[in-house]
Amino acid sequence: MDIEKEKIKNFTDLRTWQEAHKLVLMIYNATKDFPKDEMYGLTSQIRRAAVSISSNIAEGFTRYSYKEKIQFYYIASGSVTEVQNQIIAGKDIGYLNQEVFTNLYSKSIDVHKLLNSLIRGSRNHS
Protein backbone atom coordinates (compact mmCIF):
# COMPACT_ATOMS: atom_id res chain seq x y z
CA MET A 1 0.00 0.00 0.00
CA ASP A 2 2.90 2.38 0.68
CA ILE A 3 4.08 1.91 -2.90
CA GLU A 4 0.64 2.93 -4.19
CA LYS A 5 0.53 5.86 -1.81
CA GLU A 6 3.85 7.14 -3.13
CA LYS A 7 2.48 7.06 -6.69
CA ILE A 8 -0.41 9.35 -5.74
CA LYS A 9 1.14 12.79 -5.66
CA ASN A 10 -1.69 14.82 -7.16
CA PHE A 11 -5.47 14.60 -7.15
CA THR A 12 -5.31 13.67 -10.84
CA ASP A 13 -3.55 10.45 -9.81
CA LEU A 14 -6.65 9.32 -7.91
CA ARG A 15 -8.69 6.79 -9.86
CA THR A 16 -11.79 8.27 -8.25
CA TRP A 17 -11.01 11.70 -9.71
CA GLN A 18 -10.16 10.18 -13.11
CA GLU A 19 -13.50 8.38 -13.32
CA ALA A 20 -15.37 11.47 -12.07
CA HIS A 21 -13.63 13.51 -14.78
CA LYS A 22 -14.74 10.95 -17.39
CA LEU A 23 -18.29 11.41 -16.11
CA VAL A 24 -17.96 15.19 -16.57
CA LEU A 25 -16.87 14.72 -20.17
CA MET A 26 -19.70 12.26 -20.79
CA ILE A 27 -22.26 14.68 -19.28
CA TYR A 28 -21.01 17.59 -21.40
CA ASN A 29 -21.17 15.44 -24.52
CA ALA A 30 -24.63 14.09 -23.70
CA THR A 31 -26.08 17.54 -22.94
CA LYS A 32 -24.65 19.44 -25.92
CA ASP A 33 -27.79 18.64 -27.93
CA PHE A 34 -30.28 19.45 -25.17
CA PRO A 35 -32.73 22.15 -26.28
CA LYS A 36 -31.35 25.68 -26.14
CA ASP A 37 -34.12 26.72 -23.77
CA GLU A 38 -32.60 24.29 -21.24
CA MET A 39 -29.22 26.06 -21.31
CA TYR A 40 -29.99 27.75 -17.97
CA GLY A 41 -32.09 24.87 -16.69
CA LEU A 42 -31.29 21.17 -16.74
CA THR A 43 -28.21 21.53 -18.95
CA SER A 44 -26.52 23.98 -16.60
CA GLN A 45 -27.67 22.13 -13.48
CA ILE A 46 -26.38 18.71 -14.50
CA ARG A 47 -23.08 20.12 -15.78
CA ARG A 48 -22.45 22.06 -12.56
CA ALA A 49 -23.29 19.02 -10.44
CA ALA A 50 -20.96 16.80 -12.49
CA VAL A 51 -18.07 19.27 -12.24
CA SER A 52 -18.76 19.56 -8.51
CA ILE A 53 -17.97 15.86 -8.08
CA SER A 54 -14.42 16.06 -9.44
CA SER A 55 -13.84 19.52 -7.91
CA ASN A 56 -14.70 18.31 -4.42
CA ILE A 57 -12.53 15.23 -4.83
CA ALA A 58 -9.65 17.52 -5.82
CA GLU A 59 -10.25 19.86 -2.89
CA GLY A 60 -10.60 17.00 -0.42
CA PHE A 61 -7.32 15.53 -1.64
CA THR A 62 -5.44 18.65 -0.50
CA ARG A 63 -6.87 18.57 3.03
CA TYR A 64 -4.73 17.05 5.75
CA SER A 65 -7.20 15.85 8.34
CA TYR A 66 -9.57 12.96 7.81
CA LYS A 67 -12.51 15.10 8.92
CA GLU A 68 -11.76 17.76 6.31
CA LYS A 69 -11.08 15.22 3.55
CA ILE A 70 -14.30 13.32 4.04
CA GLN A 71 -16.33 16.53 4.25
CA PHE A 72 -15.40 17.23 0.63
CA TYR A 73 -15.74 13.59 -0.40
CA TYR A 74 -19.24 13.51 1.09
CA ILE A 75 -20.15 16.67 -0.84
CA ALA A 76 -18.87 14.94 -3.99
CA SER A 77 -21.02 11.93 -3.12
CA GLY A 78 -24.08 14.15 -2.79
CA SER A 79 -23.30 15.64 -6.19
CA VAL A 80 -23.19 12.13 -7.68
CA THR A 81 -26.71 11.52 -6.39
CA GLU A 82 -27.79 14.89 -7.79
CA VAL A 83 -26.38 13.93 -11.21
CA GLN A 84 -28.18 10.58 -11.05
CA ASN A 85 -31.47 12.35 -10.38
CA GLN A 86 -30.87 14.74 -13.29
CA ILE A 87 -29.90 11.89 -15.63
CA ILE A 88 -33.21 10.20 -14.80
CA ALA A 89 -35.05 13.47 -15.46
CA GLY A 90 -33.22 13.88 -18.77
CA LYS A 91 -34.27 10.39 -19.83
CA ASP A 92 -37.86 10.77 -18.69
CA ILE A 93 -38.22 14.14 -20.46
CA GLY A 94 -36.87 12.54 -23.61
CA TYR A 95 -33.53 14.37 -23.85
CA LEU A 96 -31.44 11.22 -23.26
CA ASN A 97 -31.98 7.98 -25.13
CA GLN A 98 -31.80 4.68 -23.26
CA GLU A 99 -28.22 3.89 -24.32
CA VAL A 100 -26.82 7.26 -23.25
CA PHE A 101 -28.81 7.12 -20.02
CA THR A 102 -27.49 3.63 -19.23
CA ASN A 103 -23.88 4.65 -19.89
CA LEU A 104 -24.15 7.81 -17.78
CA TYR A 105 -25.95 6.09 -14.93
CA SER A 106 -23.48 3.20 -14.91
CA LYS A 107 -20.52 5.60 -14.79
CA SER A 108 -22.18 7.52 -11.94
CA ILE A 109 -22.53 4.28 -9.96
CA ASP A 110 -18.85 3.50 -10.56
CA VAL A 111 -17.86 6.96 -9.32
CA HIS A 112 -20.08 6.60 -6.25
CA LYS A 113 -18.49 3.24 -5.35
CA LEU A 114 -14.99 4.67 -5.81
CA LEU A 115 -15.89 7.63 -3.59
CA ASN A 116 -17.10 5.29 -0.86
CA SER A 117 -13.78 3.43 -1.08
CA LEU A 118 -11.87 6.71 -0.96
CA ILE A 119 -13.77 7.72 2.17
CA ARG A 120 -13.05 4.37 3.83
CA GLY A 121 -9.38 4.59 2.80
CA SER A 122 -9.07 8.12 4.17
CA ARG A 123 -10.56 6.98 7.46
CA ASN A 124 -8.05 4.14 7.70
CA HIS A 125 -5.11 6.47 7.08
CA SER A 126 -6.12 9.23 9.46
pLDDT, tens digit (0-9, with 9 covering 90-100), for 4-23: 445 788 999 999 999 999 99
Residue 57 lies in a domain: yes
DSSP structure class, residue 11:
G
Residue 4 lies in a domain: no
The structural domain count of the chain equals: 1
Cα–Cα distance, 93 to 30 (Å, whole number):
14
pLDDT band at 86 (very low <50, low <70, confident <90, very high): very high
Which pLDDT score is estimated for 121? 86
Encode pLDDT of 88-110 as tens digits: 999 999 999 999 999 999 999 99
pTM: 0.90
Residue 2 lies in a domain: no
Residue 60 lies in a domain: yes
Q: What is the CATH number of the domain that holds 24?
A: 1.20.1440.60
Residue 8 lies in a domain: no
Q: SS3 for 81?
A: helix
Encode pLDDT of 39-75 as tens digits: 889 999 999 999 999 999 999 999 988 899 999 999 9
For residues 53 and 82, the answer to whether their CB atoms sit within 8 Å is: no
Q: SS3 for 55?
A: helix
Encode pLDDT of 18-39 as tens digits: 999 999 999 999 999 999 999 8
Q: How far is CA 31 from the centre of its chain?
A: 16
Residue 72 lies in a domain: yes
Show the domain range for 47. Answer: 13-124
Residue 3 lies in a domain: no
Residue 6 lies in a domain: no
